[in-house]
Amino acid sequence: MDMYPLGIHKFFLNNQNLITAIEENNMLNKISHKKIRALICSIIMALGHIPISYGVVIPNDIQLAEKQEIVRNNGADPVSLDIAKAESNIAMNIINDFFDTLVGTDKQGHIIPKLAVSWETKDNKTWVFHLRKGIKWSDGTPITANDVVFSWRRLTDPKTHSPYGSYFVDASVMNAKAILAGKKKVEALGVKALNDSTLEVTLEKPVGYFLHMLSFNITSPISEKAVEKQGDKWTQPEFFVSSGAFKLAEWKINEKIVGVRNPYYWDDKNTVINKVTYLSLSSDTSDLNRYLAGEIDITLTIPIDYFASLKKKIGSQIHISPILATYYYAFNNKKPLFNDIRVRQALNLALDRDIIANKIIAQGQIPAYTFLPPGIGGFKFKQPDYASWTQEQRNAKARQLLSEAGFNKEHPLSFNLLFNTSNSQKKIIIATTAMWKKNLGVIANMKAEEWKVMLDHERQGKFDVARSGWVGVYNNPMSFLQILKTNQTNNLSLYTNKNFDNWLDKAGETNNQEDFQQALDILEKDIPIIPVYHPITAVLVKPYIGGYYSDLMGRVSTKDLYVIKH
């Protein structure tokens, strides 16, 4: 059931699903598979040119406010709005509004056209994308296939040092791995412009979820001319060039980022909001207070301490949405302290996830015993054995393991736990350190840092254990497991296991549950990270905001919203 009937109404056919469905239909068993695929490619090309409604469908009885402006809290300043250098949801929330990908997904998870109006493939290795006619950057210059080539090369170039530099390696784009390793030049990347509006992408092997990978914001093209002309300054408001519904108008460091409507956006006629302001409030209490004072329309979160009372008083303004995400603690696996697997296992077992998820936060979060969120990709993975134990049984086993590793009251295990400054985060961290102290006698020193500082320390490996989280960028187990592969740019824990890598490579080809499970079993044995809970998105939204919808990746597109007269 659609919980948000005022949202966008979109439709497009997932070509691989269509091909599979027809090939499995016994009624067509007299037609060769080659002919079927040729037929489907023709259908897809035709469907790609059918007009599709992207704009908000506003009910006839709704009267819009004269002032179409929205204020959203974003929690902090992004490290960068340069797509190749952006990291975390703090940046992606804004990039999602400022830039379009080639393809997107609708509420049902189906692939839909965005900058690309159609595409085809004959073998799932060579893909051809056709860009929309007349699409422009926010400065009025044409968006071309060459911009896509430039952007993808730049993302993969090791000189860029992108947090997502290995993304096209995971997508099996031709030569991406060799380029990232410095063995080939970026020009060898399997992407080329056949002409201004046609892009060809070559993969080293078929990837069943390739189109879904292209729906992630990191694959959005940026303007080659803007970057070449301005260098790193291109993200400043006076030089900023975007392809999405909004463009950057103002950036006051540690205060706010302002986006205004992009008149050159290809679907501007179906956009209602004229201005969006993203505040950089790290305090969830300040976020709430300014919301209640009428200064914020959509909060970033809801403070743990106030959730129950707010639910009673203004429950209709609370929006809870599922999200493919996992909150976890990352061990620095390069630290000698954590070389002993028994230490990692003990800390994992002694953490009472049920208390953290259901009593500390208590907003609908799910205790996590595996890195993968429930139901991801339509799969159902088994839980580790200890998930069915009582917490007392886990604690007893944890004490045994830690003792065998040489730690006791006279020689306690001690380390720093890095986290970002936030009232809600602090409550979770306090509970965690208290559990480890009570159950194991472990001394975990809390080390709070501002958001950007924490990210910088994590990126440089300057931590013992760090709190982190991962939101799936597409609905497939690979979206999570790939960040733990050897030398992957998002491998925060610096984990390496060739057997895990090999099983994951195989799963990437087969998209088979058994192969993913093999990789997951290795991960759950090694414990390079501690899964804590699977989050939900819980925010406050003013009753006069229409069209609110948060997708499984936690993205809320401002272009889908509108302000009702109030």
367 pLDDT more than 90? yes
Please provide the DSSP assignment of 306-374 as one string.
GHHHHHHHHGGGEEEEE--EEEEEEE-TTSGGG-SHHHHHHHHHT--HHHIIIIII-SS-EE-SSSSPT
Buried/exposed 79-107: b ≥16 CB within 10 Å, e otherwise: bebbbbbbbbbbbbbbbbbbbbbbbbbbe
363 pLDDT more than 90? yes
**What does each C-alpha distance from 215 to 209, 288, 561 come to in angstroms?**
10, 32, 20
Matching CATH number, 100-221, of 3.30.56.10, 3.40.50.2300, 2.60.120.380, 3.90.76.10: 3.90.76.10
**Per mean pLDDT, which range of 54-63, 193-202, 215-224, 305-314 is the poorest?**
54-63
Question: CB–CB of 136/142 below 8 Å?
Answer: yes
More confident of the two residues 429 and 208: 429
The confidence score (pLDDT) of residue 107 equals: 86
Please provide the DSSP assignment of 111-146 as one string.
EEESSEEEEEESSSSEEEEEEPTT-B-TTSPBP-HH
pLDDT digits (tens, 9 = 90+) for 98-129: 999 999 999 888 999 999 999 999 999 999 99
According to CATH, the topology of domain 325-534 is Dipeptide-binding Protein; domain 3 (3.10.105)
pLDDT digits (tens, 9 = 90+) for 372-383: 999 999 999 999
Measured between alpha carbons, how far is 241 from 234 in angstroms, rounded to an integer?
8
3-class secondary-structure state, position 422: coil
User: Burial level of 356, CB count in 10 A (0-12/13-18/19+)?
Assistant: buried
25 pLDDT more than 50? no
The confidence score (pLDDT) of residue 316 equals: 98
Q: Within 10 Å of residue 127's Cβ, how many Cβ atoms? A: 23
Span 188-196, mean pLDDT?
99
The confidence score (pLDDT) of residue 27 equals: 34
For a pLDDT cut of 70, what percent of the chain falls above it?
90
pLDDT digits (tens, 9 = 90+) for 47-70: 443 334 456 778 889 999 999 999
Residue 71 structure tokens: 């204020």
Span 162-180, mean pLDDT?
96
3-class secondary-structure state, position 511: coil
The confidence score (pLDDT) of residue 60 equals: 87
The confidence score (pLDDT) of residue 54 equals: 55
pLDDT digits (tens, 9 = 90+) for 430-472: 999 999 999 999 999 999 999 889 999 999 999 999 999 999 9
pLDDT digits (tens, 9 = 90+) for 293-337: 999 999 999 999 999 999 999 999 999 999 999 999 999 999 999
283 pLDDT more than 60? yes
245 pLDDT more than 80? yes
Taking alpha carbons only, the member of 271, 228, 216, 259 closest to residue 104 is: 216
pLDDT digits (tens, 9 = 90+) for 498-513: 999 999 999 988 899 9
The confidence score (pLDDT) of residue 49 equals: 38
The confidence score (pLDDT) of residue 428 equals: 96
The confidence score (pLDDT) of residue 55 equals: 60
Question: Can you identify the CATH homologous superfamily of domain 248-321+538-563?
Answer: Periplasmic binding protein-like II (3.40.190.10)
557 pLDDT more than 60? yes
**Per mean pLDDT, which range of 39-43, 239-243, 362-366 is the poorest?**
39-43
38 pLDDT more than 50? no
Q: Amino acid identity, residue 54?
A: Y
The confidence score (pLDDT) of residue 424 equals: 86
Question: CB–CB of 9/57 below 8 Å?
Answer: yes
Q: What mean pLDDT, rounded, does the chain reach?
A: 90
Phi and psi at 541, nearest 5°, equal -130, 125
List the domain boundaries for the chain.
100-221, 248-321+538-563, 325-534
The confidence score (pLDDT) of residue 7 equals: 26
